[in-house]
Structure 1
Amino acid sequence: MNAEIEWRFSEELVPYEYALAEMEARAAAVRAGEARELVWLLEHPPLFTAGTSADPAELFNPNGFPVYEAGRGGRYTYHGPGQRVGYLVLDLEKRGRDIRCFVHSLEGWMIAALGELGVEARREPGRIGIWTGHGPAEAKIGAIGVRVKRWVTLHGFSINVDPDLSHFGGIVPCGISEYGVTSLAALGRNSSIGALDDALVRTFPSFLNALRDISQAA
């Protein structure tokens, strides 16, 4: 692992308010040069988050889960047990100052990690998130929602390992209603959080290298 970056792995469910406060504080400390960058892998209790483009008509919430204003881009997203969330507090001041590159590289990292677990995942033009399958089996397996504050990133991504997929029925996930949502477990793949974490660690260097490539070219 990169010595400049702290990795944190949370085994217990992390309350959303706590995670949001931690991210905000860490981002301020990174900008001030008082803390290392952070990759934080965790799970949340069942909840919905609203991005800056969230449409109230896309929130149904029959189970009455808490709904939080996230401050990130995007629309409504579900988080819950069995879904690995990755929060990234990275300094783009030294990694290229290119938000599009950051998002593209983040997508590539998710695709590479899923590939290590036997899932052929991809981007789809005009759609947010990471997708797998074709035809009737096409579905979303990962979501992305980021914010950049003073060139420090907040929020990040989620990958469905073995969540209760029925919970996604409480929203229109990321505003896309034409396709379903899937998970590693639903695809018959390794549904261990630890296996996904290991795959994310192994493929992280290529993600960092993609950011550095832009930085060196700038």
Structure 2
Amino acid sequence: MILPEWRVEPGLTDYAAAVAAMEARVAAIHAGTAGELIWLVEHPPLYTAGTSAVPADLLRPHDFPVFATGRGGKHTYHGPGQRVVYVLLDLGRRGRDIRRFVAALENWVIAALAVHGVAGRVIAGKVGVWTDTPAGTAKIAAIGVRVRRWVSYHGLAINIDPDLTHFGGIVPCGLPEPVTSLAAIGGTSRLADIDAALAETFATMLADFTTGRDQGT
């Protein structure tokens, strides 16, 4: 099976423009006129509100622009120092199992973190990836996807070295746990390092998702 196009966008990518580009690509993938895409971006500071977002979780609505988005989940923060990975795959031919797809994304993040010596894990009943810090358990990666005509988009966000105080304007993903970053726990602060780890572990994740084998966590 042909691997998706892999694209790393330089600089900061406007969020609304990114969503418009994803929607156009999703339509083209469904029509068979474009291939799948893994798109790595970095956004200027902003908040997004997923389909399950509640107004009470937006604590400081005037800190940054707020975008309503069609992905699953609640409020999230995007900003410099965070690697956002948009995953545009044809689930129609890779297996129409959204739950397994989300689990594969979590396993992918865990595998990429492990390359740099960081132990990530999932928490039963919650979506995303957590790690243990001296202060306790903290979330290091968020996942929120949308599927249209069995083509996925949106994806995941890994905190490399963002300004963690910016998360204080929301209840991240509606959960009480604090957030952390690789830099905050003594890991790499370079997006390029995580990009390389994601690329290194991607083929295995994709094969496991497509064939239905479980990587485990």
Q: CA deviation at 1:115?
A: 0.6
Name the SS for the 1:81 alignment partner.
Answer: coil
Answer yes or no: is the 8 Å Cα contact 1:128–1:174 preserved in 2: no
Structure 1 consecutive aligned stretches of length 4 or more whose deviation exceeds 6 Å: none
State the distance in 2 between where 1:128 and 1:214 align.
19
Correspondence for 1:26: 25
**How many pairs are equivalent?**
213
Structural mapping, 1:122-141, within 5 Å: 122-133=121-132, 136-141=135-140
State the distance in 1 between where 2:124 and 2:10 align.
34
TM-score in terms of structure 1 length: 0.94
Correspondence for 2:81: 82
Correspondence for 1:194: 192
> Deviation digits for residues 79-98 of structure 1, max 9, x if unmatched?
00000000011001110111
Q: Which amino acid aligns with 1:50?
A: A
Name the SS for the 2:106 alignment partner.
Answer: helix
Which residues of structure 2 form unaligned runs of 5+? Answer: none
TM-score in terms of structure 2 length: 0.95
Name the SS for the 1:182 alignment partner.
Answer: coil
Q: Which amino acid aligns with 1:148?
A: V
How large is the RMSD of aligned CA atoms in angstroms?
1.4
Q: Does 1:35 align with 2:34?
A: yes
Q: CA deviation at 1:122?
A: 0.3
Correspondence for 1:68: 67
Structural mapping, 1:91-106, within 5 Å: 91-106=90-105
> Deviation digits for residues 138-191 of structure 1, max 9, x if unmatched?
1000000000110000100000000000000000000002x2110000011111
Greater shift in the superposed pair: 133-142 or 87-96: 133-142
State the distance in 2 between where 1:125 and 1:36 align.
34
Which residues of structure 1 form unaligned runs of 5+? Answer: none
Correspondence for 1:181: 179
Correspondence for 1:170: 169
Answer yes or no: is the 8 Å Cα contact 2:133–2:185 preserved in 1: no
Q: CA deviation at 1:135?
A: 7.5
Answer yes or no: is the 8 Å Cα contact 2:52–2:72 preserved in 1: yes
State the distance in 2 between where 1:134 and 1:165 align.
14
